[in-house]
Amino acid sequence: MKISIVLGTRPEIIKMSPVIRECERLGLDYFILHTGQHYSYNMDRVFFEDLELPEARYNLDVGSGHHGWQTGKMLVGIEKILEKERPDVVLVQGDTNSVLAGALAAVKLGIKVGHVEAGLRSYDRRMPEEVNRTLADHCSDYLFAPTEKSKKILLGEGVSKEKIFVTGNTVVDAVFQNLEIANRKRNVMNDLELRSKDYFLVTAHRQENVDNKARFAWILRGLKYIAEEFGLPLVYPIHPRSRRRMKEFGLQLDEARLIEPVDFLSFLQLENNAKLVLTDSGGVQEETCVLGVPCVTLRDNTERPETVEVGSNVLAGADSDKILKCAKMMVSRENSWENPFGDGDAGRKTVEILRGNDLFGTASAPQISGKAVEAEGSGTRIVIVVPTLNECEAVGKVLDGVKDVMDGYEYRMLVVDGHSIDGTDDIAREKGAEVIYQRGKGYGDALRTGFLYARKRLDAGVIVMMDADFTYDPRDIPELVAPILEHEADLVVGNRFAGMQKGAMSLVNRVGNRMLSLVAKFALRLNVYDTQSGMRAFRSELLDSVSLVTGGMPFALEMLAEARSADARIDETPVSYRPRLGRQSFIP
């Protein structure tokens, strides 16, 4: 898989830094395309160096300009590079013109798009960012939502749930990773002669605030009230746009300490040590929430409502009196809120999801021989694969059962997490399992993802496929594992639906269809034990058996017919059966 990371502003570089570092750590095939939306790459090169990131491979140096001109110029430049490189996926982050241009260029070339920080909405179409993020979401194939709220917004707009992955926000990763770098490289507190928690920090640069004379004047008056009320320094690294508007409108703020814009690492230190931050920046709202610093937002709305809900942030708008009132309230508030943006693992999860989905598309199917062999390199003989669609409690029980049964054997456990909205992935990791994510539409796709990942990524010699449905009984595990240990079979699948009656038959049909499609396409040269139907797969009368099990599902039959014509080895070994707990079982 080849990944293209398109970015053009410093906030994008910051929030993409965890993803870039993960790509570097894994040695993936990727490249960075810098549009130069705010600054030329030469000006941003020092920014990459400060964050200890690799250089961009391509630089468009588009520069500032009107939205249409700037976006159009980016679109032309990005398209040429994507045509040359032909990546499998283009990653964009946030809501800038670079995001919109990158997403449009990719989708028009038939390249998949991944949108990091998807599902944010302010519902204020006066903001160009709102238009950009909405359009980017609706032409993306992978929507990496930072929170459950973001996911619900996307679902409400008709986005397919299979495209949405709740990963947390990369801002958490970025804050802690980059703060560590900042503390090694910067000492802005000493440079500005500031004491920790003894000053207020201000940022105000959005066009809806600073381009409106009356609104900007009200905000500055509110800041003046705060300076007079608290008697603490008001540090304002003023954006060039804001400084120009102050001069143009004849406005001033003598009570604040206006300083030149500082680099990101220095600003991160200023945020971390401030008593209170007043801002109109969406990113700063997130960063202060993560850092435990109270925030007052100088806007009427926010696309980060989670910060307001947990109590780290409050909306003051541009009302001078309300700005002072909100500052008083936030200064007295305990900073004991819970961070709603995840555990600082969003970058890794994003890359894991892309790698897992590579197994579906651009990667070729693995070449598999008939007999299980000792895995080369890793030494892993057995990989236990547990596909799951939000069965949090059941997964824990299954993994505990696996550990009991497999005591004394060298093995690894792999959980394929279908949606990750109930903490399944966290429980799996606590139990010692590796977790991957998949974009599939159900259990069968989870089977396929787990099987291919174990083969290709974990170099497994033996694979055990297991089901984690809510009716699962860990006591069934020996029945599933026994063929592996006794006969070195490559694949065992197990599902309890086979013994259920009444309305469950439709589930049997659906699961059987997907399972047999998997087996037909990827396991024809394996010894296959199927405990769902109680049959040894690929006997000469297979098609008749499939008709009984799956209700004659056309897709399964088509896949099996295609596979049978490929001269694959069909195992004719007879099998006997005996009933067990009202269900079919087998004795090889």
Question: Which of 166-175, 358-367, 386-395 comes out lowest in average pLDDT?
Answer: 358-367
pLDDT of the residue at 162: 86
What per-residue confidence (pLDDT) applies to 446? 66
Q: What CA–CA distance (Å, rounded) separates 178 from 271? A: 13
Residue 423 CB-half CA count within 13 A: 7
Q: Which residue ranges make up each domain of the chain?
A: 2-169, 176-331, 369-584
In this prediction, residue 464 carries a pLDDT of 63
168 pLDDT band (50/70/90 cuts)? very high
Note the pLDDT of residue 465. Answer: 62
Alpha helix (H) residue ranges in 464-553: 477-487, 505-522, 542-550
With pLDDT > 90 as the criterion, what percentage of the chain qualifies? 49
Question: CB-based burial of residue 72 (10 Å sphere; 0-12 exposed, 13-18 middle, 19+ buried)?
Answer: middle
String of DSSP letters for 206-254 = -HHHHSSHHHHHHHHHHHHHHHHHH---EEEE--HHHHHHHHHHT---T
User: Which of the residue ranges 18-22, 354-358, 389-393 has the most confident prediction, judged by mean pLDDT?
Assistant: 18-22
Q: Give the residue with greater pLDDT, 396 vs 459.
A: 396
Predicted confidence (pLDDT) at residue 333 exceeds the cutoff of 60: yes
pLDDT grade, residue 475 (50/70/90)? very low
522 token code pair: 């990827």
71 and 101 in contact (C-beta within 8 Å)? Answer: yes
CATH code for the part of the protein at 2-169: 3.40.50.2000
C-alpha 291/C-alpha 269 separation (Å) is: 10
- Rounded Cα gap, residues 60 and 46, in angstroms: 17
378 or 76, higher pLDDT: 76
Summarised one tens digit per residue, pLDDT across range 357-372 is: 654 333 322 222 222 2
DSSP secondary structure string, 404-461?
HHTTTS-EEEEEEESS--SSHHHHHHHTT-EEEE---SSHHHHHHHHHHHHHHTS--S
User: Residue 434: which pLDDT band, with cuts at 50, 70 and 90?
Assistant: confident
Q: Given this model, what pLDDT does residue 471 score?
A: 38
Q: Residue 9 above 70 pLDDT?
A: yes
Closest to 170 in 3D by CA, of 319, 314, 5: 5
Tell me: pLDDT of 330 over 80.
Answer: yes
What average pLDDT does this structure show over 107-133? 92
**Is residue 532 scored above 70 in pLDDT?**
no
Read off the pLDDT of residues 299-325 as tens digits, 9 standing for 90 and up. 999 988 999 999 999 999 999 999 999
Band of residue 428 on the pLDDT scale cut at 50, 70, 90 = confident
Hey, is 397 helix, strand or coil? helix
Class of domain 176-331: alpha beta
% of the chain exceeding 70 in pLDDT: 67
Name the residues annotated as catalytic. Answer: 205
Are the folds of 2-169 and 176-331 the same?
Answer: yes
Bridge-based pairing of strands 583-584 and 579-580 is antiparallel
pLDDT confidence bin for 235, thresholds 50/70/90: very high
Instruction: Assess whether pLDDT exceeds 70 at residue 123.
Output: yes
**pLDDT tens per residue across span 558-581:** 333 333 343 333 333 322 222 222
